[in-house]
Amino acid sequence: MRPFIAIITLTLIIFSLIVYLTQPALIIIDTPISFGDKRVEMTKTYIKTHYDLNVSTIDIDPKMIVLHWSEEDSLESTYELFNPEEINATWGSVSAAGQVNVSAHFLVDREGAIYRLMPETQMARHVIGLNYSSIGIENVGGGKVEGIAQANLTQKQYEANVRLVAHLKQKFPKIRYLIGHYEYRKFENHPLWLEKDPAYRTEKSDPDPEFVDRVYNATKDLGLLRAP
C-alpha cells in the first residue's frame, strides 16, 4: 500500500505544481494619478475635518476592500475624473465636504486590465466614513442611459476583481471585509466608521449587487466578511 500512497501523493503534488505554474501572473500596471504635496495636505485636512484625527501622514492600515463602478464606460474619462488633485466644484455636497478630489487605489478596465492609481497604504477619497481603513477598486462601467446607471460590468472585470481581491488579502492579511460601495452605510456605528458629520451621506448603488455577490462567492475561501 505504501508505494501506492506515495504515487498518489506525488501525483497530487505534481498536479498542484502544474496548476500553480500555468496560472497567468497577476499584472498590475502602475499608472499614478497626480498626488503631490497639495493633494496630501488636502487629504490631511479631510481627515481632520471628517474624522477628527490629527495626522502627520496619510498612511492607512487596510481592513476592507470596497468595489465601485465609475458610471463611465471609458477608461480615459474615468482616469481623468480622478487625476486632478482638487475636486470639481460642481459635485454638490461631495465638493462642499472637502477640496481633495475623489480617487481609488485601483482601476479595472472593461478588458480586465488592472491599473494602480496610488499606493494601497495611502488614503483615497472613495467612500464616506471608511476611507481611512479601505482600499478602493474602481471598475470602468455603469455608464448612464437616460440618467440611469447600467449593470454592464464584464466577465473579464469579474475575473480581474477576483484575482485582485485575493492578491490584496494575501498582501494585507488584516483585511477583513469585502463590500460594494452601495453597502457603506451599514457600517455606521461600526468601529471602522469615522465620519463625524451626520449630514454627510450620499446615495450609492454601485456596483451591481450581483457583481459583488459573484466576486465574494469566488473568494469565500479567503475568510472575508460582508457588510454587517
User: Given strand 64-69, what is the order of strands in its sheet?
Assistant: 28-30, 114-116, 106-108, 134-139, 64-69, 177-180
Task: Grade residue 20 by pLDDT with cuts at 50, 70 and 90.
Answer: very low
Q: At residue 10, does pLDDT exceed 80?
A: no
pTM of the model: 0.89
The DSSP output letter for 221 is G
Q: What is the mean pLDDT of residues 194-205?
A: 96
Q: At residue 73, does pLDDT exceed 50?
A: yes
Q: How many residues does the chain have?
A: 228
CA distance 133 to 5: 47
Per-residue pLDDT reduced to its tens digit, 184-194: 999 999 999 99
Kindly report the average pLDDT of the chain as a whole number. 91
Task: Grade residue 25 by pLDDT with cuts at 50, 70 and 90.
Answer: confident
The DSSP output letter for 100 is B
pLDDT at residue 23 in the model: 52
Q: What is the mean pLDDT of residues 11-21?
A: 39
Extract the C-alpha cell encoding 221.
Answer: 475561501
pLDDT at residue 2 in the model: 47
